């Protein structure tokens, strides 16, 4: 849950608005030099302002930051130069790994999800879809200290009034005893916990579902899942309805993508639309709008009210489609095919995190500084890809990590050491990688936030010198829902 104007806030979807300057220069503005005396004066003023009336002075003073955090102002003003294509966005977010994690979570939390479904009327897989996209099933919560971020945003640059309200609300959450102060970390803009609620959304919609008297969306999976269901319910979710479905347009169909222009299913039948597999449209949607994320030549969808409730979580249709698609794949319990039935209109489809990590590892092995291998194609990785493309005669040198680049670099850096590729890619454009990654998804080198606790939650695994290293890690989910990386020696 985030502020609508900032679609790049999501921890998991920070790659949406990636930018890449034409050279290696960063698109990110420099961190501003913020005056601390101005900051402290501002906080003095806030303390006595009407917005902070419900915050007692002990709480205000106790969590009052001694310094501002200029990096959040940098994030506030971050302007991506290039938007990511929708297929890149979806393939990085809805990949085999996340579907498998979702299926596992569905089994682990089956009883809780059943009780949530009967209480709020929200389908288990829809709750799981949100959880998976928002926080990778509780594994990625964000590490920025909330009070510092929100206090800084309250005193500098744009939207101060909005952030002052969120700052006050964050203090109230701690004052109420719902969340431990040390757990108040999150995204730069203040979204936190397994549901990534903003503090105002927390106060409005968080629920205590495990019955301990606290609404703990950081550490309690039942609280987080029930709060998500409550959010969807309060935003108009219709029990028993699907979110929508992938459809096939009749040949020659001309129509605009307009999710909000809802029509009856019989209307769409009369227009010649069918399910993507050619079956007639079912009658289980009250009304639906047409969604064409990549125009009439790509996958097409009819979406109903429940899709709109996903949309209200983050005000982005691609984001809502990721939730919808992930929930379908978790329902089907099939992680082998994460594509839609209709292909995206590109000859170079996107890749998942597994392939992204393999690219990052290959770049590291080739001597490029990409930072950490995290499966997120950020500015550093894109710059390195662009440099690699330039020095290997790959055109266009656009820094994009798609399937073609994946096959090229993996082929080029394979253990044989022979380099066979010049300025063309050899493999068929639409083939999926069969044997994807020398750096396997459990990570020869991954950095992952693995537990909701803010301490000791980062397992940073050192890069192995070659793909033949025998160090492997597997993820183990403990009964309380935390996930850990456990080293597994080869052969065991
Ligand atoms: Ca609780």
- Cα–Cα distance, 97 to 336 (Å, whole number): 10
CA neighbor of 448 nearest in space, from 481, 478, 473: 473
Report how far ligand 1's centroid is from the alpha carbon of 295 (Å).
44
188 shares its domain with 226:
yes
As given in the structure block, the two tokens for residue 394 are 């790959």
| Residue 285 near residue 265 (C-beta atoms within 8 A) | yes
Query: What is 456-489 written as a DSSP string?
Result: S-EEEPPPPSSTT--EEEEEEE-TTS-EEEEEEE
CATH number of domain containing 412: 1.10.101
Mean predicted lDDT score pLDDT of the chain: 82
Report how far ligand 1's centroid is from the alpha carbon of 122 (Å).
19
Report how far ligand 1's centroid is from the alpha carbon of 315 (Å).
28
Report how far ligand 1's centroid is from the alpha carbon of 216 (Å).
5
Report how far ligand 1's centroid is from the alpha carbon of 214 (Å).
4
In the chain, how many domains are there?
4
Report how far ligand 1's centroid is from the alpha carbon of 200 (Å).
18
| Residue 358 near residue 406 (C-beta atoms within 8 A) | yes
Report how far ligand 1's centroid is from the alpha carbon of 16 (Å).
33
- Render pLDDT for 98-144 as a digit per residue (tens, 0 to 9): 999 999 999 999 999 999 999 999 999 999 999 999 999 999 899 99
As given in the structure block, the two tokens for residue 263 are 């029509």
Report how far ligand 1's centroid is from the alpha carbon of 212 (Å).
5
Ligand 1 ion local residues (Cβ < 5 A):
208, 210, 212, 214, 216, 220, 223
Report how far ligand 1's centroid is from the alpha carbon of 209 (Å).
6
pTM for the full model?
0.78
Q: Please tell me the predicted confidence (pLDDT) of residue 466.
A: 32
Residue 286 lies in a domain: yes
How many whole angstroms from its chain centre is CA 68? 27
Report how far ligand 1's centroid is from the alpha carbon of 229 (Å).
15
66 shares its domain with 212:
yes
Residue 435 lies in a domain: yes
CATH number of domain containing 208: 1.10.8.350
Report how far ligand 1's centroid is from the alpha carbon of 206 (Å).
10
The packing angle between helices 221-234 and 124-135, to 10°, is 110
Of 234, 257, 292, the residue at which a domain comes to its end is 234
Report how far ligand 1's centroid is from the alpha carbon of 152 (Å).
30
Report how far ligand 1's centroid is from the alpha carbon of 437 (Å).
40
Report how far ligand 1's centroid is from the alpha carbon of 218 (Å).
10
Report how far ligand 1's centroid is from the alpha carbon of 112 (Å).
13
Query: Distance from first CA to last CA of the chain, Å, rounded?
Result: 42
Report how far ligand 1's centroid is from the alpha carbon of 224 (Å).
9
Q: Please tell me the predicted confidence (pLDDT) of residue 430.
A: 34
What is the gyration radius of the CA atoms in the chain, in angstroms?
Answer: 23
How many whole angstroms from its chain centre is CA 266? 35
Of 419, 442, 465, the residue at which a domain comes to its end is 442
Q: Please tell me the predicted confidence (pLDDT) of residue 411.
A: 85
CA neighbor of 342 nearest in space, from 472, 251, 434, 405: 251
Q: Please tell me the predicted confidence (pLDDT) of residue 17.
A: 33
317 shares its domain with 462:
no
- Cα–Cα distance, 127 to 225 (Å, whole number): 6
Report how far ligand 1's centroid is from the alpha carbon of 153 (Å).
29
226 shares its domain with 368:
no
300 shares its domain with 358:
no
227 shares its domain with 270:
no
Report how far ligand 1's centroid is from the alpha carbon of 223 (Å).
5
Q: How many helices (H) and strands (E) does the chain have?
A: 17, 11
183 shares its domain with 299:
no
Query: What is 129-140 written as a DSSP string?
Result: HHHHHHHTTTT-
Q: Please tell me the predicted confidence (pLDDT) of residue 255.
A: 87
- Cα–Cα distance, 223 to 206 (Å, whole number): 8
As given in the structure block, the two tokens for residue 401 are 């990590």
Residue 255 lies in a domain: yes
Question: Which range of residues forms the domain containing residue 397?
Answer: 347-442
Residue 479 lies in a domain: yes
Task: List, for the chain, all residue ranges whose pLDDT scores fall below the cut of 50.
Answer: 2-26, 415-492
Residue 156 lies in a domain: yes
């Amino acid at each position: 849950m985030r502020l609508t104007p900032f679609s790049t806030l999501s921890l998991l979807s920070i790659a949406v608005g990636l930018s890449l300057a034409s050279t290696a220069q960063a698109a990110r503005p420099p961190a501003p030099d913020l005056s601390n005396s101005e900051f402290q004066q501002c906080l003095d003023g806030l303390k006595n302002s009407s917005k902070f009336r419900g915050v007692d002075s002990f709480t205000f003073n106790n969590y009052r930051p001694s310094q501002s955090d200029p990096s959040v102002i940098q994030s506030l003003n971050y302007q991506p130069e290039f938007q990511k294509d929708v297929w890149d966005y979806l393939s990085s977010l809805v990949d085999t790994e996340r579907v498998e994690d979702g299926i596992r979570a569905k089994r682990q939390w089956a009883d809780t999800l059943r009780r949530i479904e009967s209480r709020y009327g929200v389908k288990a897989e829809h709750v799981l879809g949100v959880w998976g996209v928002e926080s990778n099933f509780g594994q990625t919560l964000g590490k920025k200290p909330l009070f510092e971020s929100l206090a800084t945003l309250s005193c500098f640059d744009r939207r101060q009034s909005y952030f002052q309200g969120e700052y006050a609300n964050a203090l109230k959450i701690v004052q109420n005893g719902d969340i431990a102060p040390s757990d108040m970390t999150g995204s730069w803009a203040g979204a936190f916990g397994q549901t990534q609620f903003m503090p105002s959304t927390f106060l409005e919609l968080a629920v205590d579902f495990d019955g301990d008297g606290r609404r703990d969306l950081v550490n309690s999976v039942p609280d987080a899942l029930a709060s998500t269901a409550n959010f969807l319910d309060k935003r108009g979710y219709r029990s028993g309805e699907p979110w929508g479905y992938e459809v096939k347009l009749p040949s020659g169909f001309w129509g605009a993508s307009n999710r909000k222009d809802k029509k009856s299913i019989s209307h769409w039948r009369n227009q010649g639309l069918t399910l993507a597999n050619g079956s007639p449209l079912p009658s289980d949607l009250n009304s639906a709008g047409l969604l064409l994320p990549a125009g009439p030549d790509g996958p097409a969808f009819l979406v109903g009210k429940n899709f709109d409730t996903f949309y209200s979580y983050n005000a982005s249709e691609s984001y809502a489609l990721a939730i919808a698609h992930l929930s379908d794949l978790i329902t089907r319990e099939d992680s082998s095919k994460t594509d839609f039935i209709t292909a995206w209109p590109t000859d170079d489809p996107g890749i998942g995190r597994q392939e992204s990590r393999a690219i990052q590892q290959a770049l590291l092995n080739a001597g490029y500084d990409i930072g950490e291998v995290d499966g997120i194609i950020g500015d550093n990785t894109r710059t390195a890809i662009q440099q690699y493309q330039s020095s290997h005669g790959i055109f266009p040198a656009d820094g994009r990590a798609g399937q073609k680049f994946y096959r090229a670099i993996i082929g080029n850096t394979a253990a044989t050491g022979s380099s066979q590729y010049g300025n063309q890619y050899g493999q068929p454009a639409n083939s999926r990688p069969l044997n994807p990654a020398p750096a396997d998804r459990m990570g020869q080198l991954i950095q992952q936030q693995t537990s909701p606790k803010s301490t000791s939650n980062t397992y940073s695994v050192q890069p192995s010198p070659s793909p033949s290293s025998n160090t492997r890690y597997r993820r183990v989910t403990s009964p309380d829902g935390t996930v850990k990386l456990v080293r597994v020696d080869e052969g065991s």
